[in-house]
């Protein structure tokens, strides 16, 4: 059994900007997500049994699509398992992102995986155990433009020190030849 999710992984430039944003939000306190863990979840699968692993990897291998642009321009917060989480996300998620989420969801369902019903709220978690949202700005100092192309299947291990993620499969969205 492994705890799995599909995510977009930021390139070096976006990662640096996210790091900067974490520093800009120091007043929120809490625990910044380590740089290597920064990601945007496409679909959370939760615990998946070993006999489903091949199917899940195949979903990644079968993904087709071109890179697309999104802009991280909104800060938000929510409670998760009684812990306050602070995130940055796109105020206008591009249709390609929604389409990718729905396609992954459909394929996961087809393979008998349990996917929750909640609305998809694309975001990059920046800080866990953060302070009150009211003290925080609504927008980052600078918008973060992201040409998303790197998609991965990740396994999450919950350790006392925090989560550790391992990339199990990865694919790159590439431009179609014209
Ligand atoms: P979070 O960053 O908002 O905590 C690995 O845990 C990834 O899956 C994280 O991006 C986490 O979101 C997300 N995640 C964890 N539990 C989830 C759930 N029940 N529904 C949707 N996403 C979840």
* 142 C-beta closer than 6 A to ligand 1: no
Average pLDDT over residues 61-81: 90
Residues 136, 77 contacting (CB under 8 angstroms): yes
Task: Please check the confidence at residue 178 and state whether its pLDDT lies above 80.
Answer: no
Q: What digits encode the pLDDT tens for the residues 131-176?
A: 755 567 889 999 999 999 999 999 999 998 889 999 999 999 998 8
Spatial separation of the C-alpha atoms in residues 13 and 51, rounded to whole Å:
37
Q: What digits encode the pLDDT tens for the residues 107-123?
A: 999 999 989 888 999 99
Residues 30, 46 contacting (CB under 8 angstroms): no
HSE-CB of 125 using CA atoms within 13 angstroms: 21
Q: Report the percentage of the chain scoring pLDDT > 70.
A: 95
Instruction: Pick the residue whose CA is nearest to atom 2 on ligand 1.
Output: 125
State which of 22, 41, 122 you would mutate to test the pocket of ligand 1, scoring each by most atoms of that ligand within 8 A of its C-beta: 41
- Confidence class for position 91, pLDDT limits 50, 70, 90: very high
DSSP state of 52: G
Q: What is the overall mean pLDDT for the chain?
A: 93
pLDDT for the residue 49 = 96
Q: What digits encode the pLDDT tens for the residues 5-28?
A: 999 999 999 999 999 999 999 888
Spatial separation of the C-alpha atoms in residues 28 and 88, rounded to whole Å:
13
Q: What digits encode the pLDDT tens for the residues 151-163?
A: 999 999 999 888 9
**Separation of CA 44 and ligand 1 centre (Å):** 6
Task: Please check the confidence at residue 47 and state whether its pLDDT lies above 90.
Answer: yes
HSE-CB of 145 using CA atoms within 13 angstroms: 4
Spatial separation of the C-alpha atoms in residues 102 and 90, rounded to whole Å:
17
**Separation of CA 41 and ligand 1 centre (Å):** 7
* 120 C-beta closer than 6 A to ligand 1: no
pLDDT for the residue 80 = 65
* 8 C-beta closer than 6 A to ligand 1: no
pTM metric for this prediction: 0.95
């Amino acid at each position: 059994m492994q705890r799995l999710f599909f995510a977009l992984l930021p390139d070096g430039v976006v990662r640096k900007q996210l790091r900067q944003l974490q520093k800009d939000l120091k007043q929120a306190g809490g625990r910044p997500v380590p740089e290597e863990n920064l990601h945007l979840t496409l679909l959370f699968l939760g615990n998946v049994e070993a006999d489903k692993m091949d199917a899940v990897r195949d979903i990644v291998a079968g993904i087709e699509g071109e890179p697309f642009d999104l802009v991280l321009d909104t800060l938000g917060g929510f409670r998760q398992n009684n812990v306050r989480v602070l995130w940055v996300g796109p105020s206008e998620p591009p249709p390609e992102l929604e389409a990718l989420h729905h396609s992954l969801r459909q394929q996961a369902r087809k393979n008998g995986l349990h996917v929750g019903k909640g609305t998809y709220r694309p975001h990059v978690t920046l800080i866990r155990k953060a302070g009150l949202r009211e003290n925080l700005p609504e927008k980052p100092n600078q918008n973060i433009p992201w040409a998303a192309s790197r998609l991965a299947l990740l396994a999450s291990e919950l350790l006392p020190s925090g989560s550790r993620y391992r990339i199990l499969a990865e694919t790159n969205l590439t431009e179609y030849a014209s």
